[in-house]
Every structure is written in C-alpha cells, then in structure tokens.
Structure 1
Amino acid sequence: MAVLFAVDDLESLEETIAVLSDAATMNALSEADAVLARGEGENQSSLAAAMRERRARG
C-alpha cells in the first residue's frame, strides 16, 4: 500500500515528530503551559508595550 502526501504536509508531520521526540522541547512546552495556567504569562497589552519600548530603543 502507498500513501501520497503533499511535500508541505510531509514536512509538517516530520517537524511534529521531531518536536514530540525532543524531551527538552516537550519539557519547555510543559513548563510554559504551567506558567500560563497559573496566570503568570504576558497579556496582549504588556507585550505590545514591550514591543513599543524595544522599537523606541532601536
């Protein structure tokens, strides 16, 4: 049996497998989820302010 995939779809699947297979990346994602669950993540207005400040510094 053969399965046909578009190149973009195959590349996407390969990248997903690479991420899911990387323990360090999965740990980082888990930690980020926990931060967000605790409400400690940045909100849109604080991110926008940080971007304005960064642009002003050049």
Structure 2
Amino acid sequence: MMINKTDRNDAVGLAQIIRIGWFRQVHVESGASHVARALLISRGLLVGMHGDIDNQI
C-alpha cells in the first residue's frame, strides 16, 4: 500500500497492474454515438410529453 498519493506513485501502481495483468480492455464509444443517443432520448421524451398533453386536452 502506498502512503503518499502522488502522480508518480499512481504511475508506479498502474505499471504494476499492467505487469500483473489485472486489467481488461474496454470499448469507448465515439462522441458521435453519444450525440445520437442524446438526440434519441430527448426525442423520446418530447414524444411522450406530446402524448401526455394530447391526453389532457
């Protein structure tokens, strides 16, 4: 366990993790996919709100 929290100690810890193999690669989505998902979610919310307003009238 490392007592001092510094960038150098963090780098040493990450290097040890990589050497041991205690990591798993992950897939990071692109910025365009985040934008597309946000647009789809907001459209779904607007469609739902439109339906709620129609039902109230």
User: Shorter-chain TM-score: what band?
Assistant: 0.3 to 0.5
Scaled by the length of structure 2, what TM-score is found? Answer: 0.36
Max Rg structure? 2
Relative to total residues, which structure has the larger helix share, 1 or 2?
Answer: 1
